[in-house]
Every structure is written in structure tokens, then in C-alpha cells.
Chain A
Amino acid sequence: MCGNSSGTPEPKAEVWVVWLVWSAALVWLVARADAISAWTTPWGVYAPASVAGVLTVPLLNPPRVAGLLLLAPVWLFGAWFTLSSMFLPSGYFLSPFFAYMGGWMATAIGMLVWQRLQARRSGT
């Protein structure tokens, strides 16, 4: 985290660059889905969700409008992807939800725990 004049930590520039890469990866994935192996594409969706989970913690600490505006599309895509899973064979309904939102939440919680451990170790 970097500091600003008001003393509030701001996400580093790398975080924003990763978000740009995230959005590019998502576009590439859905645009090329027909050409990519059907068994590879789900991981192409869940991996960005996990990356988004890792980046959620610095974005929401402290909460900022820009941070929330970055997270909203992650949730929006997750919600639409879940709704679209109606068209998967029965038995697979909600599996995109668990994989996408689960990946996002698991990595976000993991990042939060890691940050707390780091803070405790450094005595802050």
C-alpha cells in the first residue's frame, strides 16, 4: 500500500494494472471460447475470479468509490454467469456460482488472513 497526503493507504499502481490484465483476459476468453478446449475454458473463468478475490482486499481497505466500481463488474459477471448456468445439463446448475464466487471468496479470505498475519508479525 502507498500513502497519500491524508495518510490513507492507496492501492499500488500494480493492482490497477492487474485489473486491466484481468479485463483483457476475460474478453479474450469469452471471445475465443469456441476455439479453446472446453475443458480449459472453465479454468479461464475461475482464475480471473480468484485473482479478483486477491485484489479485493487492497481495494476495499479502505473502501473507495473506484474500488467498488471495479468490484461491481466482477459480481455482475458472476451473477450473469450463474443465471446462464440454467442452460447447462441438469446437475451442473449453480456449479459456475460455486466455482466462480467460491474462488473469489476463498482467495479474498486467504488474502485477508495473510494480511492480518503480516500485520501481527510486524507488530502493527
Chain B
Amino acid sequence: MKSAFVWLTVACVWGATLYAIARTQSFVRQQGAALAVQATPDYTGVLTRAENLEPLSVERMHGQLRHLGNRVRLEWKVGPRMAVLEWQTTSPTTGFIPDSEPVIVRALQANTPPQVGMRIEIVRMTYPLGYYCVIRDSGGNVVDVWELLWNT
């Protein structure tokens, strides 16, 4: 009887761990978003265009990143429309995703759609192709946190 209980425990712990491992990615993303809000940004900017961003997708969207002088534009298709998020950089963009590269965008914390004039702070992940985009209103409150991956 005791032996059966022991092996049942082993089976339960293995099952629980495998389930936990399957959920670890989303768990880490949520943690990453919370840490990114507190982290020192690697790149900063002020939003100059924010179009067709409603509703914000928590699914991964494939798009493109463009460098236009001192502006960076992120665009992706949402159905028949093109969602655009553009910002004027307020820090050097050295080492950021190059021009015309494909990217993957996903909202991790989507409170309200970004608006022109809001600040964007970009924090690098340890993963060399990944970034967190923290969007703040004029009061410094966090409006959204997005995940941006260079889909190279």
C-alpha cells in the first residue's frame, strides 16, 4: 500500500512538472514584462503615429520594422488594415533591429491602445533577437507592454 502511494507521488510530481514546463514560457514572458517596466531602457522614443491598433492582439503578429531617418516604424497587417506604430527616437538606435527586417509583435499587457505623444521605452532581452516595448503615458504610467522579436 505504501509502495503504491510512493509511486503515485512520483507519477503526480512528474505530471505536475511536465505541465509546469509546458507553461513556463508564458510564465517567463509575464515576469519579463514586469521586470522590463522597472529596467533601464536601451532605446527610447516618442510616438508620432499610432494607427489601427485597436484591438491590441495578444497573438503574435508578423510585421516589418522600418528606419526613416530619426523615426522607427513598426507595421503589421490586421485583417485588411495595416496597423502602424511609429516613434521618433530620442536615443541612438545602434544595435537595434536593422531597416526592413521582419518582426513579430505581441501585446503582453494591453491596457489601452497607444496614442501619439506617449513615450516608448525599449528593453533588450538576453535573447539577442528579442525586446520588450514599454509604452508610458505623459504621467509615466505604463499603458502597454509589447514583445518585439526580430524574425530573422
Chain A residues proximal to chain B, CB less than 8 Å: 13, 16, 19-20, 22-24, 26-27, 29-31, 33-34, 38-39, 41-42, 66, 69-70, 73-74, 76-77, 80-81, 84-93
Contact = CB atoms under 8 A, between A and B. Distances in A.
A89 B39 contact: yes
Contacts of B26: 33-34
Contacts of B23: 30-31, 33
Interface residues of B, number: 39
A54 to B, nearest CB: 15
Contact of A86 (B6, B17, B42, B127): B127
B24 A91 contact: no
Most buried by A among B7, B25, B29, B31: B31
A70 B126 contact: no
Interface string B125-149: 1110010100000000000000000
B117 interface: no
A76 B30 CA distance: 21
25 contacts: A13-B5, A19-B9, A20-B13, A22-B16, A23-B17, A26-B20, A30-B24, A33-B30, A34-B30, A38-B31, A70-B10, A73-B16, A74-B17, A76-B21, A80-B21, A81-B24, A86-B125, A87-B29, A87-B127, A88-B31, A88-B125, A89-B32, A89-B132, A90-B42, A91-B126
